[in-house]
Amino acid sequence: MLVLSLTLMAHASDTLTGTVYLEIVDDFTSDGFPSEAAPQHVLRTDSGEPVALGDADGVLADLGCARVEVSGAADKSGVFWVDSAACVDGGEEPTGYGPDAVTTTRDALVIRINMTDSSVGPSEADLDAMLFGTSASVDAFFALSTFGGERLQGDVISVAILYSASTCNVFERFDWAAAAEAQATIMGFPASAYDRIIYVLPDASVCTWAGIATQGGKWSWIRDNTDPHVYAHELGHNRGLGHANGLWECVAYPYFDRSDAMGIDYIRFNAPHLEQGGWLDPSDVVEVTTSGTYTLEALHRTADGVPPRALKIWDPSSGANIYLSLREPVGDYEAPMTPDIASKISVHRFLDPMTTLSDRPTLLVDALSVGQDYWFADGTVRVRFLADFGSTADVQITVHPCYMAVPVCHAPPPPPTGCGGTN
């Protein structure tokens, strides 16, 4: 903290240039209470120095770029408070937000960070098996969940740093990473050679979070170090995925969608995340604008797009796309699916990320049993789960003439009351 504060004080012009990332702190608290998961911005200067940013006026969220010059001032704690920001060219952009055209294998450096008063429990062999093993590993999870689109390989090393696990804040976390990377370089594992850097901390650390990741960046910190879901979740953030939110008494909370690993459960990704990652063939996502009966294949079946695995309908009333998909409780990671999702039509609301600096979660707004309806909030579209055939399902979609703002029409009847169009 002292080193970083002195470094910031050297920035007399109160202007910093670099790449801004969203850091997401995960506590996985979703037992009916609001989560503490709160994203924050971190600027990485072109020399690699991370600087925690304060953004009281929200100037970063809608900037539309990540390469920035920010003006402001650091407070006594070392947080640099942003007054204004502008896009600049050059340097490193966050990656991984858009679809990948081909299978991508990420090279990951896993650093066991032993501290002066506490050590990492899992051994190098444990972590190698958990992350990169041929079965039940995080790589195996991504291979299944993304239909082979996203894979993981890498190295596991151990370092010892002269820091205590008895304190925890953002500045110390950056110092731990820098000390660990310096040793890794000496050992012949320079961080610059890897797509992902996973700092594994002692779980006895007083840090209260399970994991932290840069969204669209390559860094993650893991404290809950024996749970493979935490690693997969943070790597999902690195890939650009936001949280899988759900409703509790009509209010959206992080993690509350139990049909996606970006929520509380270690389960394969939901339909909007699969499309965001480019992991569905385009023929597997059908955009619906007209009334009809549509057949869906269960989302995680190995299919060829006939029938499709997701339906997508633009919802003007919410300014987002609605995704429909069938989840079938069959197969690795899908079998433990909770009853509120299993054999139902998941209804997700999602707006593709428009900027890299704001959190864009998916939202599970409903899960339909056979015979149940989902209505758009303005009453222009009704979705009905008609029939369940196990691995496929029929969905009836009724589109009112007023859908998509037809200039002259009679207003549709109001939808049933509920959570924003659900019933």
Backbone φ and ψ for 176, nearest 5 degrees, come out as -60, -45
Work out how close the CB of 157 gets to Zn ion at its nearest, in angstroms, rounded to a whole number: 25
Q: What is the CA radius of gyration of the chain?
A: 23
The residue (of 30 and 137) whose beta carbon lies closer to Zn ion is 30
User: How many chain residues interact with Zn ion (CB under 5 A)?
Assistant: 2
* Structure-token pair, residue 65: 């770029």
**Interface characters, 1-40, with Zn ion (x: CB under 5 A):** -----------------------x-x--------------
From the list 73, 419, 123, the residue with the least C-alpha distance to 246 is 419
Which 8-state DSSP code applies to residue 257? -
Work out how close the CB of 281 gets to Zn ion at its nearest, in angstroms, rounded to a whole number: 27
The residue (of 24 and 399) whose beta carbon lies closer to Zn ion is 24
Work out how close the CB of 356 gets to Zn ion at its nearest, in angstroms, rounded to a whole number: 16
46 Cβ contact partners less than 8 Å away, ≥ 6 residues apart: 17, 18, 91, 92
The residue (of 236 and 415) whose beta carbon lies closer to Zn ion is 236
Work out how close the CB of 26 gets to Zn ion at its nearest, in angstroms, rounded to a whole number: 4
Is the peptide bond preceding residue 307 cis, with omega within 30 degrees of 0? yes
The residue (of 38 and 406) whose beta carbon lies closer to Zn ion is 38
From the list 350, 42, 1, 358, the residue with the least C-alpha distance to 176 is 1
Which 8-state DSSP code applies to residue 191? G
59 Cβ contact partners less than 8 Å away, ≥ 6 residues apart: 82, 83, 84, 85
Work out how close the CB of 262 gets to Zn ion at its nearest, in angstroms, rounded to a whole number: 6
The residue (of 161 and 264) whose beta carbon lies closer to Zn ion is 264
Rounded Cα gap, residues 223 and 236, in angstroms: 17
The residue (of 175 and 203) whose beta carbon lies closer to Zn ion is 203
Work out how close the CB of 150 gets to Zn ion at its nearest, in angstroms, rounded to a whole number: 17
Work out how close the CB of 272 gets to Zn ion at its nearest, in angstroms, rounded to a whole number: 16
Rounded Cα gap, residues 322 and 302, in angstroms: 23
406 Cβ contact partners less than 8 Å away, ≥ 6 residues apart: none
The residue (of 35 and 321) whose beta carbon lies closer to Zn ion is 35
* Structure-token pair, residue 392: 């496929």
Chain residue at closest Cβ approach to Zn ion: 26
Decide: is 257 part of the binding site for Zn ion (CB under 5 A): no
Query: Applying CB under 5 A, which residues contact Zn ion?
Result: 24, 26
